[in-house]
């Protein structure tokens, strides 16, 4: 039987790497789109030991002609659009780049599918950031969007495009509204990775205290491999649709920090309030965390919690990994990384 084919944009990213691993296990032929940089490291793919199993195609998602050429040539069964300027803070100073990559490029792909590859099923990586401050106890497929960052605005527009192409042109185009999902291979600027990698360095070497912004934002954090399973179910559902993917439980940054401390063996003591708050370890008196005013967002997003009843009911999906186990995985990875400094594939 002919192998199914998938094109993953953003193959170098956290989700692209894990989805590639997931699809290779299902015997897919995986094509990965990667933009040119001065240094092709593909560390995540190499760490997962899948780099040589993927057909890498070089290209920038914002180049309409090139994207069209690629899709026309391989006519994949599935396109997973993960490529994005995905860091919210960066989007405030780089609004136009964020829009080009996160919105305009989605037009490029959908237009190409419509004109040249109508059987290709499309998946868009939508995000819980689209909800902004919704003032709801939880968010689901019917919750209104109220974006509070250029990143979120770009993703709302892309989300709307997917819906329009699905309804107006009959394209199989689905979106997963994914709440935060983490892994050992999360980008270094994201708060979960920052907390864990700094704390492990303090424990095992002479690391510096982690700088944090608003400790009282709540997020619904899940584990990436569970979410790749959800995405696979979404694109294999009989009809294209939108689904919220999350855990259904929400934790503040300060509580995430405390759980990570406990896992690593610290006993955190907090001093002061507001911007002068800091934290040290009771036994060693090492400073673990300080507040950095520059890390507060222009508009904070206070509270996210997924209502996953639709995906549970329709696709029979639910997450398998709880927050404690997710943190355990991230901590073991950082410990291994420090113990094996010669291993170039650690991210």
Choice among 129, 131, 227, 247 that is catalytic:
129
Active site residue 99: no
**Closest separation between CB of residue 124 and ligand NAP, Å?**
8
CB of 180 to ligand NAP, least distance (A): 4
Identify whether 189 is a catalytic site residue: no
Note whether 175 and 166 are within 8 A (CB). Answer: no
Q: Which of 130, 296, 304, 146 is nearest to 219 (CA)?
A: 304
Minimum CB distance to ligand NAP, residue 318 (Å):
18
Indicate the residue whose CB is closest to ligand NAP: 13
* Minimum separation from the CB atom of position 269 to ligand NAP (A): 30
The full DSSP string for 49-113 is: T-GGGSEEEE--TT-HHHHHHHHHHH--SEEEE------HHHHHH-HHHHHIIIIIHHHHHHHHH
Rounded to whole angstroms, how far apart are CA atoms 260 and 283? Answer: 16
> Is 182 designated active site?
no
Catalogue the E-assigned strands of the chain: 5-9, 29-34, 55-58, 78-81, 121-127, 173-178, 181-182, 210-212, 218-219, 222-223, 242-245, 251-252, 268-271, 278-281, 287-291
Q: Which of 124, 122, 108, 11 is nearest to 57 (CA)?
A: 11
Based on CB atoms, which residue is closest to ligand NAP, 248 or 268?
A: 248
Compare residues 32 and 291 and give the one whose CB is closer to ligand NAP.
Answer: 32
Nearer to ligand NAP, 174 or 266 (CB): 174
Q: Looking at beta carbons only, is 15 or 241 nearer to ligand NAP?
A: 15
14 vs 279, beta carbon nearer ligand NAP:
14
* Residue of 266, 252, 167 lying closest to 218 (CA atoms): 252
SS3 273: coil
Chain residues binding ligand NAP by CB under 6 A are 9-10, 12-16, 33, 35, 37, 60-62, 82-86, 101, 125, 127, 178, 180-181, 187
Q: How far is the CB of 273 from ligand NAP (least distance, A)?
A: 29
Q: Give the bridge partners for 17, in sequence order.
A: none
End-to-end CA distance of the chain: 36
User: Of 181 and 305, which CB lies nearer to ligand NAP in the complex structure?
Assistant: 181
Spot the catalytic one: 127, 192, 247, 321.
Answer: 127
Round to whole Å and give the CA distance between 140 and 345.
Answer: 38
Whole-angstrom Cα distance, residue 293 to residue 154? 26
Active-site positions? 127, 129, 151
């Amino acid at each position: 039987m002919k192998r199914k084919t998938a094109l993953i944009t953003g193959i170098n990213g956290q989700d692209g790497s894990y989805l590639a691993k997931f699809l290779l296990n299902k015997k897919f032929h995986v094509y990965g789109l990667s933009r040119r940089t001065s240094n092709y490291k593909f560390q995540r793919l190499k760490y997962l030991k899948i780099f040589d199993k993927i057909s890498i195609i070089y290209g920038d998602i914002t180049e309409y002609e090139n994207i069209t050429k690629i899709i026309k040539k391989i006519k994949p069964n599935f396109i997973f659009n993960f490529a994005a300027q995905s860091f919210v803070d960066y989007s405030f100073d780089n609004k136009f780049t964020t829009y080009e990559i996160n919105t305009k490029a989605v037009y490029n792909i959908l237009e190409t599918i419509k004109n040249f590859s109508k059987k290709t099923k499309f998946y868009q990586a939508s995000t819980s950031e689209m909800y902004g401050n919704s003032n709801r106890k939880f968010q689901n497929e019917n919750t209104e969007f109220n974006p509070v960052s250029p990143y979120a605005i770009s993703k709302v527009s892309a989300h709307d495009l997917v819906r329009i192409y699905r309804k107006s042109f009959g394209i199989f185009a689905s979106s997963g509204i994914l709440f935060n999902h983490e892994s050992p291979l999360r980008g270094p600027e994201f708060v979960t990775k920052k907390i864990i990698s700094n704390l492990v360095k303090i424990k095992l070497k002479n690391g510096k205290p982690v700088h944090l912004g608003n400790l009282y934002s709540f997020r619904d954090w899940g584990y990436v491999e569970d979410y790749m399973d959800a995405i696979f179910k979404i694109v294999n559902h009989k009809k294209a649709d939108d689904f919220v993917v999350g855990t259904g439980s929400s934790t503040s940054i300060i509580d995430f920090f405390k759980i990570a401390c406990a896992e690593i063996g610290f006993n955190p003591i907090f001093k002061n309030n507001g911007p002068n708050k800091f934290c040290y370890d009771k036994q060693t008196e090492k400073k673990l965390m300080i507040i950095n005013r520059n890390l507060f967002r222009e508009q904070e997003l206070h509270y996210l919690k997924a209502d996953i009843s639709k995906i549970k009911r329709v696709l029979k999906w639910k997450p398998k990994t709880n927050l404690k186990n997710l943190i355990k995985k991230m901590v073991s990875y950082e410990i291994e990384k420090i113990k094996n400094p010669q291993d170039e594939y650690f991210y």
